[in-house]
């Protein structure tokens, strides 16, 4: 008989939860190019308040998907979990079918 261990999938569930918002999913897609991007770029592109964008980035960071690098007053982000990209791409392809 199979035994369910709630803790075995907790991290993965947190990752999927973090990706469960269109803005956060968009951020991950933007970081897929392997380049660092400044929070100011995201704020300008999405058109939301800086504080709101910071909350989205914090959720992705807490899930272990991104890391930040503070340089003076600017904060740059990069993707730390590129293995999630094929999943996102697969989902996009399934949507188009």
Q: Which pTM was predicted? A: 0.88
CB 4 within 8 A of CB 41: no
pLDDT (0 to 100) of residue 60: 98
Tens of pLDDT along the chain (97 residues)?
788 887 888 989 999 999 999 999 999 999 999 999 999 999 999 999 999 999 999 999 999 999 999 999 999 999 999 899 999 889 888 777 7
pLDDT score at 76: 96
Q: Calculate the alpha carbon distances from 81 to 15, 28, 38 in Å.
A: 10, 9, 18
Rounded Cα distance, 76 and 97, in Å? 36
User: Looking at the domain covering 15-96, what would its CATH class be?
Assistant: mainly alpha
Cβ partners under 8 Å of residue 78, min gap 6: 31, 34, 35, 36, 37, 66, 67, 69
Instruction: Give the per-residue pLDDT at 53.
Output: 97
Task: List the chain domain ranges.
Answer: 15-96
């Amino acid at each position: 008989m199979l035994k369910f261990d709630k803790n075995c999938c907790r991290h993965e569930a947190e990752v999927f939860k973090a990706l469960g918002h269109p803005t956060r999913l968009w951020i991950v897609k933007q970081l897929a190019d392997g380049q660092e991007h400044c929070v100011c770029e995201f704020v300008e592109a999405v058109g939301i308040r800086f504080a709101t964008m910071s909350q989205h980035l914090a959720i992705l960071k807490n899930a272990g998907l991104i890391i930040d690098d503070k340089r003076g007053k600017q904060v740059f982000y990069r993707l730390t979990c590129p293995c999630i990209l094929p999943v996102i791409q697969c989902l996009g392809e399934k949507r188009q079918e």
